[in-house]
A and B are shown apart, each in its own frame.
Chain A
C-alpha cells in the first residue's frame, strides 16, 4: 500500500473513531463502516483500529473473522448473497444459483476478476414466503428466477462507476 493511501486510511479511521467512540463497543460499527467503503478489512486497517481502541490487533482479527459480513479478503463492489435455506431451496434456489455462476463466470465464495461481483451463500434472510430470495449488498430481491438474473446483473453494472452515487443502486434494481 502506498504511504499516501495509508495516510488517507488512517485519517478515515480517526474520523470513524471520533464518530463511534473509543470504547470496545465501537469496534464493530467502525469495522462495518470500513467494510462498506473498502470492501475488505486489511491487516493494516486492523492494526490501526486496534491501536486507536487500545486493544490487541488479534482481538480485531478475531472479530473480523467471526462475522460473515466482515471480510479480510477483498469483496466485490456488489456482494450477491443467495439464500440457501430450506424454503428458498424448495422454491428453486439451485437454478438461480447456477445461472449466477454462469453469467458471472465464478463460483460461490469467489469474486470476479474486475472486482465488481462477489457471489456468496447466505443463511436464511427472512424472505421464506417469497423465495428464492437474495441480497445484493443491502438490497433484497425476492421471487428471483434464472431469467431475471441477467437483468439484475445489468442493473448493477449500470450503477457501477466512479461518478455514480451508490444510492442510485436501489432505484435501478
Chain B
C-alpha cells in the first residue's frame, strides 16, 4: 500500500478539465494556470504559468510539450505512483499544455528503470486516441491536433535536468546545455519546448476542473496548492502522502509515524539535512523547497554513511562535462571516507566545505550545484558526530 492519505486527484473527474480548456482561448488557459500560482512540482519552483506564457509567445514552426518522468532523485517515487494511478490526468494535463502553448506533439520521457510501467501508459494513450482525446482535432476542436508518445530513458540521473533531457531526446549524451537560451525558446530540435514534472501536469488537469481560486486557497501565499511527498526511511508507514504546501516537517513526521527522528533529508540526495531543532520549518518554496523526497533517519543511523551513499551516487552519476562536478564529487567522497576512519584534520574538513561551496556556484547544471548540499548540511548540523572518529575497519 503506497498511497497513505487522502488524495485530491482521486476525486478529480477525468477529461473534464480538457473539455473546459477546449472551450477557452489558449491565453485563457494560461491565465488560469498563472492565476493558480502553481510552481513546478519537480522542485525548482519555476511558475508554470510563466513558463507556458514564454513558450506560447515564442516563435517556432513546431512546439513541444515534454513530461519529465525521469524520476531519479533518491527517495522520490511519487511520479511512479501518479503514473500507476492517474495516467489519464497526466496525459490530459499535457494535452491542455499543448493547447495553451500551441504545440502539436507531446513526449513523455520515462526513465529506463520504469520500463514496466510503459505498457499501461501505452494502453492509456491508445484509449485516449480512440476517444479523440488525442489525435486530429481533439474533442472536435478543428484548430487543435495533438499526440503524445513515450520515449524511454536509458539509466542516467542527469537526464532529469531539462536541457540534458532534451539532449537525450535528440539522441546525444545527456549533457546539460548552457542556459540561456532556455528551452521555452530553444528547446527540442531548436523549437520552443516546455518541460514539466509529471505532478505539474496532473495538477493542471485538477486546476482546470476546480478553478484557480481553489488551488490558491490551499498552501501558502507563495507556494500554492497541495504537494505529493514520497516518505521513506525510518518511519512506520512509508509511502506517498499529499500535504498542503507549507506543512511543517513535524506534521509530516507525525503523519508517517516517527517520533524519534535524528535527522530528515528533504529533497533527496541533492536536498538538505535537517536536525530536530529545525523540524518546525515548512515544506514550501520559500522555506525548504523539494521535489517531494523526505527521507527519515532514526537515532542509530550514522550520518556519515548517508553522506557517503549520496556522494557515491553523485560521483557515479556526474556526466563529467564540467570540472567542479566531475572532480568535486570524487574529492568530497574521499573526504567522507577519511572522516569515517578518523583521518580528516579540521583544516581538511574546512577545505572540503569550501570545495562544496565552490561546486554550488561553479557547476554547470543543477546536479553539481546541489550535490554538495547534503554533505554540507550534515557537516553543519552533526559536526560532533563526524569528527574524531576512532580508526575502524573502514580504514582497511
Interfacial residues, chain A to chain B (CB-CB below 8 A): 23-29, 32, 62-63, 66-70, 81, 84-87, 89-90, 122-131, 135, 138-140
Contact = CB atoms under 8 A, between A and B. Distances in A.
B interface majority secondary structure = mixed
A67 to B, nearest CB: 4
A166 to B, nearest CB: 13
Nearest to B80: A126
B46 interface: no
Interface string B233-261: 11000111000000000000000000000
A108 to B, nearest CB: 12
B154 interface: yes
B309 A24 contact: no
B177 to A, nearest CB: 15
Interchain residue pairs A-B with the least CB separation, the first 8 = A67-B154, A128-B232, A68-B155, A129-B238, A27-B171, A69-B155, A138-B115, A87-B232
Interface in B285-322: 293, 295, 297, 301, 305-306, 309-310, 312-313, 316-317, 319
A128 B169 contact: no
B154 A68 contact: yes
Contacts of A139: 116
A124 B73 contact: yes
Contact of B113 (A29, A125, A128): A125
Contacts of B72: 123-124, 126
Interface of B: 2, 71-77, 79-80, 111-116, 151-152, 154-157, 168-174, 230-234, 238-240, 268-269, 293, 295, 297, 301, 305-306, 309-310, 312-313, 316-317, 319
A23 to B, nearest CB: 7
B116 to A, nearest CB: 5
A63 B168 CA distance: 9
Contacts of A125: 113
Given A62-B173, A87-B233, A126 B77 contact: yes
Nearest to B189: A25
A126 B154 contact: no
Given A129-B239, A140-B116, A123 B154 contact: no
Nearest to B316: A123
B319 A84 contact: no
A28 B232 contact: no
B302 to A, nearest CB: 11
Nearest to B294: A128
B116 A25 contact: no
A90 B113 contact: no
A128 B173 contact: no
Contacts of B231: 129
Given A63-B173, A124-B73, A129 B2 contact: yes
Contacts of A23: 171
Interface-centre pick from A23, A63, A124, A139 (highest chain B CB count, 10 A): A124
Given A23-B171, A25-B169, A89-B309, A126 B76 contact: yes
B112 A69 contact: yes
A136 B335 CA distance: 34
A28 B171 contact: yes
A84 B169 CA distance: 27
Given A62-B173, A128-B75, A139-B116, 7 more contacts: A28-B171, A63-B172, A66-B156, A68-B155, A69-B155, A90-B234, A126-B77
Interface-centre pick from B74, B174, B295, B312 (highest chain A CB count, 10 A): B74
Contact of B172 (A24, A84, A126, A127): A24
B170 A124 contact: no
5 contacts: A62-B173, A86-B75, A126-B72, A126-B80, A129-B231
Contacts of A85: 74-75, 269, 309, 313
A173 B66 CA distance: 34
B311 to A, nearest CB: 11
B113 to A, nearest CB: 5
Contacts of B240: 129
Given A24-B170, A25-B169, A126-B77, A90 B301 contact: yes
Given A123-B72, A138-B115, A139-B116, A129 B171 contact: no
B230 A128 contact: yes
Contacts of A87: 74-75, 232-233, 238, 295
A138 to B, nearest CB: 4
Contact of A128 (B74, B114, B313): B74
A128 B295 contact: yes
Interface-centre pick from A62, A70, A85 (highest chain B CB count, 10 A): A85
A128 B313 CA distance: 15
B96 to A, nearest CB: 25
A85 B313 CA distance: 8
Contacts of B169: 25
A19 B111 CA distance: 21
